[in-house]
Structure 1
Amino acid sequence: MNIVKQGLAASLIALACAGAGASAAQAGEIAVIVKTTNSNFWQNVNKGAKAAIEGQSEHTMSFDGPAAESAIADEVNLVENAINRGVAGIVLAPSDPDALAPVVKRAYESGIPVVIIDSALADSAKGTYQAFLSTDNCAAGEEVAKRMIEEAGDSGKVAVMSYVAGVGSEIGRVGCFSDYLKNNSKLEIVGPYYSQSQMATALNQTTDVLSANPDLVGIFGANEPTAVGMGRAIVQAGKAGQMTAIGFDGNQDLQQFVRDGVLDAIAVQGSFAMGEKGVDTVIKLINGEKVDDFINTGVVIVDKDNIDSPEAQNVLY
């Protein structure tokens, strides 16, 4: 009797554990999992993904992400849950190149196609996902560096306000920005400082940097929350227009900073395109079609002169 009871208890526990994750996937569900849902940039990715799903009935879409980009374990759990409920495909923006690699491998072993967007996975993950869609972050960083040299001149201090150290997009974007300045100018880099993609942290860090370096000729905010915090700090310090300030990404706050002359320019990624093309690519994979290994979703340098142009308006959000 005790053995039977123990067996029944074990079965009930197993069933409870199986049901502890998300419920079963909807028919043909494509799980879009991003670094955080608390960002206009990622919500614009969501809009693009929805646009790809609309007008067809074979697939559904779910959109999720942690509360913050630094909540890496939470993103791993979201991917685990998607695999456990048997989704048809995954579009993933990995918050950490190493931490997300094992769970992507598990998706691959489960026969679920995975498309990576925005930030690269570690080299160890190659072969476990089918396509990578992103801004060429190194090329984008170099474009910002060229603009910085044009506007700020060839010498002086440039502060780098970065976000999460070691993230694939940060390595390319900030690394290539810094390398280009070092190799093509006499500009001295102050930083980088890491905001953990928190606007308030970036504001405080920028306030301190501006106070400690009154002779700055330039400053670069390398992603949306960081650039917004940087812009607000510049305004609060009364230093708008006193240095070349360039941000990355293109939400309403950053657009207004450009219009007001707080920021000289913003480098804007095709976030809508990441979502739309990411879902389109997964659907092609599900249908057995071949896709390119890398799809560049591009970047546009937006300033006061071109902010109302069709090219800019297509990427701003």
Structure 2
Amino acid sequence: MNPIKTNAALFFAGLIVSVASITSSHAADKPTLAFVVNGASDFWKAAEAGVKKAQAEMPDYTMELKYPEQASVAVQQRLMDDLVSAGVKGIMVSAVDPKTSTDGLNKIGSQTALFTTDSDAPQTNRVAYIGSSNIDAGMQAAEIAKKAMPDGGKCIGFVGLLGADNAKERIQGMKDGLKGTKIELTDVRGDDIDQTRAKKNVEDALVASPDVTCMVGFYSYNTPRIYEALRDAGKLGQITVVGFDDDPITLGGVKEGTVAATVVQQPFEWAYQGMKLMASYLKGDKSGIPENKLIIIPTVIVGKDDVDAYAANLKAMAGK
């Protein structure tokens, strides 16, 4: 054996290991930020695009959008615990049920920078909330109903998580907006983000309340399930439908006139601005956090005349 060749081989082998270790160390030092949603829904596709845009502008971070296996407090908490264990530096979460998650969210907030979106948890140690004013969104839903039903009527609402703040606030905002009118929101039915159950809730309501004149879909997938149930029952166009968000079925219904209008949020902006906000915060820049810790991205009403322009803007944001 040639000792010179052997020593050279050992030297280069050590050099390769050393370089690999440095590369691995740099990869490990690259901060990861996670956007954790409350359940599987096409609504979050826009947020995925927002995360992607922020990632492109901030390559020194790893940015991820994570879906829990199911819409439950326990499953979402386990996902966040796993992210913290993996070294994630910041988490933005749409909590499944903030009221029953205070301890779990505070645990996450004590270990990493915690922000909320979509459904706030102001009683926790979260740094800030970025998202819609759900009260305002509910009041906009009332405006749609009042314009579509000048003679009044009976509304039934449908929502994923009855206990979530975003649901409660939208419902309350709509009720407040309907005060003094002949329109009443008499009932709201939850489905725990089970879309089969969401459609069945509508079908059951048609049987149990034959006098219903208005249906409201408070979550993004609720309006499409209302649309399908009414279509199958031959009642499409006979009952006023007030929508939330921009599912293609919802926008199609608005364009054809079977959905009165829809209140749209901006999850793309929540994710895009939110990831950049978290990155700045982690660098020590807290100037983006207002005193009240609320960053409100306005909701808007999309009616029949607005659909084409709105859809085109969605495609542009998604880079299509």
Select between 92-101 and 131-140 the one with higher mean Cα deviation: 92-101
Query: Which residue number corresponds to residue 15 of structure 2?
Result: none
Letter in 1 for 2:171: V
Work out the CA distance in 2 between the residues paired with 1:315 and 1:298.
16
Select between 238-247 and 164-173 the one with higher mean Cα deviation: 238-247
Q: Taking every aligned residue pair, what percent have the same amino acid on both sides? A: 25
CA displacement at 1:176 relative to structure 2: 1.5
Gaps of 5+ in 2: 1-26
Work out the CA distance in 2 between the residues paired with 1:93 and 1:134.
10
Query: Which residue number corresponds to residue 108 of structure 1?
Result: 109
Query: Which residue number corresponds to residue 119 of structure 1?
Result: 119
Of 46, 50, 55, the residue aligned with 2:52 is 50
Of 156, 159, 162, the residue aligned with 1:162 is 159
1:178 aligns with 2:175: yes
1:264 aligns with 2:260: yes
> Alignment partner of 1:207: what SS?
helix
1:30 aligns with 2:33: yes
Of 207, 212, 217, the residue aligned with 2:213 is 217
Query: Which residue number corresponds to residue 314 of structure 1?
Result: 313
Query: Which residue number corresponds to residue 77 of structure 1?
Result: 78
- Supply the RMSD in Å over aligned alpha carbons: 2.0
1:169-220 Cα offsets, whole Å, 9 max, x none, are 0011112112322x22122333111122222212111112123333322111
> Alignment partner of 2:120: what SS?
coil
Query: Which residue number corresponds to residue 241 of structure 1?
Result: 237
> Alignment partner of 1:31: what SS?
strand
CA displacement at 1:62 relative to structure 2: 2.2
1:150 aligns with 2:147: yes
After the TM superposition, which segments of 4 or more aligned residues of structure 1 sit over 6 Å from their partners? none
Work out the CA distance in 2 between the residues paired with 1:193 and 1:55.
41
CA displacement at 1:26 relative to structure 2: 6.6
Of 192, 205, 218, the residue aligned with 2:201 is 205
Work out the CA distance in 1 between the residues paired with 2:106 and 2:255.
45
> Alignment partner of 2:156: what SS?
strand
Letter in 2 for 1:65: Y
Query: Which residue number corresponds to residue 91 of structure 1?
Result: 92
1:229 aligns with 2:225: yes
Letter in 2 for 1:176: G
Work out the CA distance in 2 between the residues paired with 1:87 and 1:155.
51
1:211-268 Cα offsets, whole Å, 9 max, x none, are 3333322111111122111111111111122122111110212112222322111111
Query: Which residue number corresponds to residue 63 of structure 1?
Result: 65
> Alignment partner of 1:314: what SS?
helix
Superposition TM-score, scaled by structure 1 size: 0.84
Work out the CA distance in 2 between the residues paired with 1:300 and 1:233.
26
Superposition TM-score, scaled by structure 2 size: 0.83
CA displacement at 1:25 relative to structure 2: 6.4
Which entry has the higher C-alpha Rg, 1 or 2? 2
> Alignment partner of 2:224: what SS?
helix
Aligned residues: 286
Query: Which residue number corresponds to residue 289 of structure 1?
Result: 285
Please say if residues 115 and 128 of structure 2, whose CA atoms lie closer than 8 Å, have aligned partners that are also in contact.
Answer: yes
Please say if residues 214 and 240 of structure 2, whose CA atoms lie closer than 8 Å, have aligned partners that are also in contact.
Answer: yes
CA displacement at 1:68 relative to structure 2: 3.1
CA displacement at 1:313 relative to structure 2: 4.2
CA displacement at 1:84 relative to structure 2: 1.5
Gaps of 5+ in 1: 1-23
> Alignment partner of 1:188: what SS?
strand
Please say if residues 159 and 219 of structure 1, whose CA atoms lie closer than 8 Å, have aligned partners that are also in contact.
Answer: yes
Letter in 1 for 2:105: V
Work out the CA distance in 2 between the residues paired with 1:222 and 1:25.
41
1:58-86 Cα offsets, whole Å, 9 max, x none, are 210122121332x2211001111111222
> Alignment partner of 2:192: what SS?
coil
1:257-292 Cα offsets, whole Å, 9 max, x none, are 222322111111101111101101101101111222
More helix by share: 2
